[in-house]
């Protein structure tokens, strides 16, 4: 059974990273005319911080766990440590976002809240998998826990879509394109510039 895990590992990591990038891409955006008259530079700088907050988790999620398939105890410990590091990164991103809720855009709190919600879903999946993994009594249970995470990872696409929709609703896509911290992130096709 552990050999099946070896084939699922890249898929799980790719799914998780893709979901995080979707969440990250959708947390920044472009300034709109607003009653609070924040400057474009303020909105871009704020958006840069938002992208940086979530981008940190996306970066941490891009690595793969070190796996020793020959020793079930080592496999379990390394996966648990890997998941723990990911949960810690998500916690940091959520805390960083919390500090950005009152940004210069009138819908800053709404947008950041949607991003936080998406990251909470990622955290819940990772922490739940880690809990199941830590309570596993053999390699098959450990693989089952990770397999369950893989099967649930596509649900996180919905969280990314919610944030993408919120980005479009708030009209913040242009600031994301201007913010240096957002340059490597994917912006939804509906908010991409047309030529």
Indicate left, alpha or beta for 185 from its phi (over 0: left) and psi (-120 to 50: alpha): beta
Does 191 reside within a domain?
A: no
Measure the CA–CA gap between 135 and 76, rounded to whole angstroms: 10
61, pLDDT greater than 90? no
Residues 101-125 have a mean pLDDT of 91
Are 93 and 122 in contact by the 8 Å Cβ rule? The answer is no
- At residue 29, φ and ψ (nearest 5 deg) are 180, -160
What percent of the chain is modeled with pLDDT above 70? 73
Average pLDDT rounded to a whole number, residues 92-113: 92
Q: Is residue 36 part of a domain?
A: no
Q: Does residue 12 register a pLDDT over 70?
A: no
Q: What average pLDDT does the structure give for the chain?
A: 76
pTM of structure: 0.75
> According to the model, what pLDDT value does residue 166 have?
74
Residues 153-173 have a mean pLDDT of 75
Q: Which of 194, 192, 191 lies closest to 167, judged by CA? A: 191
What is d(CA 59, CA 134) in angstroms, rounded to the nearest whole number?
Answer: 25
Which is more confident, 2 or 181? 181
Cα 65 → chain centroid: 17
pLDDT score at 44 = 92
Quick check: 99 pLDDT over 70?
yes
Q: Does residue 66 lie within any of the structural domains?
A: no
Q: What is the tally of structural domains in the chain?
A: 1
- 82: in domain: yes
Place of tokens 């510039």: 193
Q: What is the DSSP string of 68-133?
A: -TT-HHHHHHHHHHHHHHHHHHHHHHHHHHHTTTT-SSTTHHHHHHHHHHHHHHHHHHHHHHHHHH
Which SS3 state, helix, strand or coil, does residue 27 take?
coil
Secondary structure (3-state) at 187: coil
Provide the domain limits for residue 142.
73-184
pLDDT value, residue 31: 40
Question: Is the model more confident about 16 or about 154?
Answer: 154
Give a yes or no: residue 151 inside a domain: yes
Which of 43-47, 121-125, 186-190 shows the lowest per-residue confidence on average (mean pLDDT)?
Answer: 186-190
Determine, yes or no, domain membership for 194: no
Residue 5 within a domain: no
pLDDT at 32 over 50: no
Listed in sequence order, the residues at least 6 apart from 117 whose beta carbon sits closer than 8 Å to its beta carbon are 159, 162
Task: Categorize the per-residue pLDDT at 184 as very low, low, confident or very high, splitting at 50, 70 and 90.
Answer: low
The pLDDT, as a whole number, for residue 63 is 81
Higher pLDDT, 78 or 31: 78
Whether residue 176 lies inside any domain: the answer is yes
């Amino acid at each position: 059974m552990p050999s099946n895990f070896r084939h699922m590992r890249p898929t799980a990591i790719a799914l998780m990273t893709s979901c995080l990038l979707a969440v990250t891409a959708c947390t920044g955006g472009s300034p709109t005319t607003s009653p609070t008259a924040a400057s474009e530079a303020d909105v871009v700088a704020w958006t840069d911080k938002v992208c940086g907050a979530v981008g940190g988790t996306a970066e941490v999620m891009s690595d793969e766990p070190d796996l020793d398939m020959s020793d079930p105890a080592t496999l379990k410990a390394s996966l648990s440590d890997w998941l723990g590091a990911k949960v810690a990164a998500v916690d940091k991103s959520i805390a960083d976002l919390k500090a950005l809720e009152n940004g210069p855009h009138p819908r800053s709190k709404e947008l950041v809240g949607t991003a936080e919600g998406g990251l909470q879903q990622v955290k819940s999946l990772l922490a739940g998998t880690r809990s199941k993994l830590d309570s596993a009594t053999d390699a098959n249970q450990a693989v089952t826990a990770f397999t369950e995470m893989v099967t649930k990872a596509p649900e996180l696409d919905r969280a990314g879509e919610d944030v993408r929709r919120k980005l479009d609703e708030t009209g913040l896509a242009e600031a994301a394109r201007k913010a240096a911290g957002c340059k490597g992130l994917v912006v939804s096709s509906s908010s991409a510039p047309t030529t």
